[in-house]
Structure 1
Amino acid sequence: MTPYDVLRVFCDAGRGYGNELAVVRDGSKIPGETERQAMAAELGCSETVFVDDPERGVIDIYTPALRLPFAGHPCVGAAWLLDLPELITAAGEVGVRLDGEFTWIEARAEWAPPRVLRQYASAVEVDSLEVPEKGEWIYAWAWEDEAAGRVRARAFPGRDDGIDEDEATGAAALLLTQQLGRALNIGQGAGSQILTAPQPNGWVEIGGRVVLER
């Protein structure tokens, strides 16, 4: 198989948890969409990134089931790995900045795929949810501390690709940030952490820690 790296994106302060991301640094070895889709399905990560131009930051993103113009945790992971000032996705140019232990990207909410943002009364209620029936892509969330901007969230892609729950999802966090219009500190999945901040003119920053798994 073509060589690839595995990262964990949106880790907690102890460098644990995070959502796995596969990155094929030499995307030219797998130029066709059909072959890329097959590799993404075989790897089984929630997303796989193919780097088409490591100097310009041109990337191509796939789930096990489909190609995405933009996705949050793949862009944060690729930004950390490639160490470039921007990435070029099918949706548009993604700004990048590194701030100590955090890697930040800047993107637009309209680039994110549709998500159902479903608010619950408490974090306990979110924690107790069962995986729903296939169909809608649901981002279940509740305030842990509204004054401090702390959110508890879980993500259910609703697809038949073996991924019942996403550990950390930057695109959904972007949509929630745009909807609420404020900076958020999101605890998602088993223990991942996503930071967000609205920016002028419809942009949103998404930040997190990244670890090279293998």
Structure 2
Amino acid sequence: MAPPVIDVLRVFCAPDGAHGNALGVVREGAAVPGEEERQALARKLGFSETVFVDDPERGEIDIYTPTLRLPFAGHPCVGSGWLLDVPELVTPAGVVGVRGDGEFTWIEARADWAPPRTLRRYGSPAEVDALDVPPPGEWIYAWAWADEAAGRVRARAFPGRGDGIDEDEATGAAAILLAQELGRALNITQGRGSQLVAAPGPDGVVEVGGRVRLEQPHHSPAGPRAELAVRPE
């Protein structure tokens, strides 16, 4: 059997199209049918998340980190919504609304679907920038106000899973949790310069959006992440 075709996206890109968090999407999920096989492919690819599309018309997706299957995650849903061009996605956590406005792709999801994170506030963006990667054990979203009146935030994300993803470039679920906790719209610069916009809505639903770019269709599971990680922006 031929290896599955894997589309490689960058999600939550900067205004100039740079940065963003790499995402692998296997459009034909049936080509990798078992949970163990999907986990093995996600581990081999090495992206922070890889998505398997089980029904492209319904938007049914299955999400994996290199070591875990997730019921919901933000940047995989934004990327998959953009790629599949569907009004909603079906995840194990629930149905995620999707919309596009030409530049951004937006999802609506419940904050309580997001995996637990420690939201750790710092006094300034410079403090966030100066942080070293902490040891594994705790998923930390480090953030500081860049301009509180304008809702501008500087953030970095440290998954702490010990799976090779020491720092996550752009993290939609954490942005959802932060917008819900602060109760206001946020414009977040994360990692090297990725941009996420999030805003809380009624009944625990939060909207998060960003720009998506197609990096490459990739026909081999032999590790495009290292190539992407060092690609000059």
Q: Which TM bucket (shorter chain)?
A: over 0.9
Find the counterpart in structure 1 of residue 150 from structure 2. 148
Q: State how far apart, in whole Å, the 1-side matches of 2:139 and 2:203 are.
A: 27
Say whether the 8 Å CA contact 2:118–2:138 is kept in structure 1.
yes
Q: State how far apart, in whole Å, the 1-side matches of 2:206 and 2:114 are.
A: 11
The TM-score normalised by the length of structure 1 is 0.99
Q: State how far apart, in whole Å, the 2-side matches of 1:202 and 1:64 are.
A: 29
Find the counterpart in structure 1 of residue 170 from structure 2. 168
Code of the residue aligned with 2:195 in structure 1: it is Q
Structure 1 segments, 4+ long, off by >2 Å, are none
Code of the residue aligned with 1:14 in structure 2: it is D
Other structure's SS at 1:213 match? strand
Other structure's SS at 1:20 match? strand
Q: State how far apart, in whole Å, the 1-side matches of 2:171 and 2:10 are.
A: 12
Deviation at 1:201, TM superposition (A): 1.6
Find the counterpart in structure 2 of residue 211 from structure 1. 213
Q: State how far apart, in whole Å, the 2-side matches of 1:2 and 1:99 are.
A: 31
CA RMSD in angstroms, aligned pairs only: 0.5
- Which of 12, 18, 32 is equivalent to 1:30? 32
Other structure's SS at 2:38 match? helix
Q: Which runs of 5+ in 1 are unaligned?
A: none
Find the counterpart in structure 2 of residue 139 from structure 1. 141
- Which of 16, 19, 41 is equivalent to 1:17? 19
Q: State how far apart, in whole Å, the 1-side matches of 2:32 and 2:184 are.
A: 40
Q: Deviation digits for residues 124-169 of structure 1, max 9, x if unmatched?
A: 0000000001100000000000000000000000011111000000
Q: State how far apart, in whole Å, the 1-side matches of 2:164 and 2:62 are.
A: 21
Find the counterpart in structure 2 of residue 177 from structure 1. 179
Find the counterpart in structure 1 of residue 109 from structure 2. 107
Find the counterpart in structure 1 of residue 192 from structure 2. 190
Q: Deviation digits for residues 159-191 of structure 1, max 9, x if unmatched?
A: 111110000000000000100000000000001
State the identity %.
74
Q: State how far apart, in whole Å, the 1-side matches of 2:7 and 2:147 are.
A: 36
Which stretch has the larger CA shift, 48-57 or 192-201?
A: 192-201
Q: State how far apart, in whole Å, the 1-side matches of 2:15 and 2:89 are.
A: 26
- Pairwise mapping of residues 8-157 of structure 1 onto structure 2 (< 5 A)? 8-157=10-159
The TM-score normalised by the length of structure 2 is 0.91
Other structure's SS at 1:42 match? helix
Code of the residue aligned with 1:188 in structure 2: it is Q
Code of the residue aligned with 1:187 in structure 2: it is T
Code of the residue aligned with 1:23 in structure 2: it is V
